[in-house]
Structure 1
Amino acid sequence: MKRLKGGGALPPKPTFIQLMKGLVGGSIGILILSYLGQSSGVPWLMAPFGATCVILFAASASPFAQPRNVIGGHFITSAVGLIALYGFGDTLVVLSLSVGVAIMLMQYFRAVHPPAGANPLVIILAGKSAVGFEFLVTPVLLGSIVLVAIAAVINNYAEESHWPAYWHGIGQHKRQP
C-alpha cells in the first residue's frame, strides 16, 4: 500500500504562453482538420486527435509529443486495428488483443503515443461498413501530419521554445564507449 500513497508535488502552474499554446494549438488543429474534412468530403478528424492535441500543445516536451511518436503511433495502431477487423472480425477478444498488440508494436518501434491506443477501438467499433484501409491515409496519416505541422508553428512561437526534440530518430544512435 505504500506504493499507492503518492506524495509527489503537483507540476508547476503553466505560464500564460503555455496556456495560450494549448488554447490556440488545440483549437486551430481541430478547426483545420474539421474544415479539411467538410470541404473534401473525406474524414480528416477522428476522436483520438483531441487527445493528441493535449499532448502536442500541453506536454510538448514529452517523448509522446514528438513527430515520430504522433505520426508513427497513429499509423501503427490504425494498421493493427484494420488488420484485426478485416482479418479476424469484431469480437471482444479481437478488440482486446488489438489494443495490446498495438501498444506492444508502438513500444517495439519506439513510437509510443498514448492517444493512438484508442485507434483499434475506434476502427473495430466502427466496423467494416464505416472504415476501410483508406483510413490509414485519411484521417490517420494526413491528419497526424497536419497536427504535427501546426505544433511545429505553435510550439516554436516563444523564443525559449524548441520543438521537436527529434523528428524521426533515424541515424541517431548512442555510441558505445
Structure 2
Amino acid sequence: MKISAFKQQPAVRLFRSVVGLESNTTGHLEKLISGLGAFLGILAVVLTSSLLMGGTPNLLVVASMGASAVLIFAVPHGPLSQPWAVWGSHTLAAIIGVTCARWVPHVLLAAALAVGLSVSAMYFARCIHPPGGATALAAVIGGPAVTHLGYGYVFNPVWFNVAALFTVGVLFNALFPWRRYPHHFSRAKKVHIETADEAGVSLTHEDFAYAISHMKSFVDVSTDVLSELFEHAVQHSEKEGLHPQTLTVGSFYSNGQVGYRWCVRELLDMSLVTPYKDAATQQVIYKNVAGANLYDTGLSSAESFKRWARYEVVKKDGHWIPVAQPGHL
C-alpha cells in the first residue's frame, strides 16, 4: 500500500486528528533553511555570551533561547514570533522570575508561581511567547550562577541573548524573498487595488488546504481552524454587511475585503450640499489609515465612497470592528 493511501485510512485519519498531527506540506528547502537559521542564531547567542564573559567556559545562555530560535526561524511570520512577543515576554518573565526567586522562600512554589504569573502577564501585555515561561523558570531554578545576578539577569544574559537572536533573525530571514522578519515587512508593501468583485467568493475547506500547502513558509494554523474562522466571518458578514446610508466627517469606513484588498479610510472632509448643488455631485476627501495603499489620500464622489464602504468601523483594542447598525445586535 502506498504511503498516501495509508494516510487516507479512516483509523489513521482519526488518530492524526486526535493527536493533532497535521500534514506537513512545507518544502524540504524551507526545512533546511529554518535549521540553518536556528544554528546561526544560537551560535550568535553563544559567541556573544562568551565575549561578554571574557571567553570563559561559563557561558551565560538562557536555555529558552533555543525555543525562541524555533519560532523566529521556523515560523517567522507567526504572531508568537514577532518582536514584541519575543522582547516583551522574555523581559516580563525575567522580572517576574527574579522577583519570585527573591521573595518566595519555597523554591518549588516560586518556580510554579513564576511561570503562572508570566503567562498571565504575557496575556495582558499581548506578548504571548511560549519560551518566556522557560525564562521565568530558569530565574528560579537556574542555580547560584543565576540567582546571584538578581535583576541583572534581565539585562545579562536575557536581553543580550535576545538581541543576538533577534539581529540574526532579521538579517537571515531577509535573505529569502518569501521570508521577512518582522512579518510587517512582508505585508507593508503597497497594493494598488481600487476595484473588487462586490459579489464575493465562495471558499471551501479544500481551498484553505490548498492555500496552506502552497505557502513557502510554515503556517502555524490548521485547515480546520481556518475553516472555522471563515464560518464565523461569513456569519458576521451576513449580519453586518450593510453599506452606510450617511457619511460623517471624522469617521472611519472599511471596504470589507480580506487580505491585501482590505482597507480602512478616514473621511477627512466633504463638500456641503446647498440648494444650488446636486447631492449626486457631492465630493469627499479621504485618507487610507489601514490596509492597502496605506497613507494615500484621495477624492471621490460621496455616492462612489458609499458603494466602496461596506460599513463604518472603530478601532478597539488594536482591531478595527464594525459599528453596530440600527436594528443589528
Is the TM value for this pair above 0.5?
A: yes
Higher relative helix content: 1
* Equivalent residues in 2 for 1:52-131, closer than 5 Å: 52-127=68-143, 130-131=146-147
Q: Is 1:174 aligned with 2:319? A: yes
Partner AA of 1:165 in structure 2: H
Segments of 4+ moved more than 4 angstroms:
none
**1:67 CA displacement:** 0.7
Partner AA of 2:176 in structure 1: A
Matched residues, percent identical?
A: 21
CA contact (8 A) 2:76 2:179 kept: no
Q: In the alignment, what sits opposite 1:12?
A: 24
Q: In the alignment, what sits opposite 2:172?
A: 154
Q: In the alignment, what sits opposite 2:161?
A: 143
CA contact (8 A) 1:85 1:128 kept: no
CA contact (8 A) 2:76 2:180 kept: no
Match of 2:36 among 17, 24, 27: 24
Which stretch of the first structure deviates more once superposed, 107-116 or 19-28? 19-28
CA contact (8 A) 2:71 2:80 kept: yes
Gaps of 5+ in 2: 1-13, 186-316, 324-329
Distance 2:19 2:96 in 1: 38
Gaps of 5+ in 1: none
Point out the structure with max Rg over C-alpha: 2
Q: Deviations over 1:112-156 (max 9, x none)?
A: 110111122211112455332111011111211221111111222
**1:18 CA displacement:** 1.6
**1:28 CA displacement:** 1.0
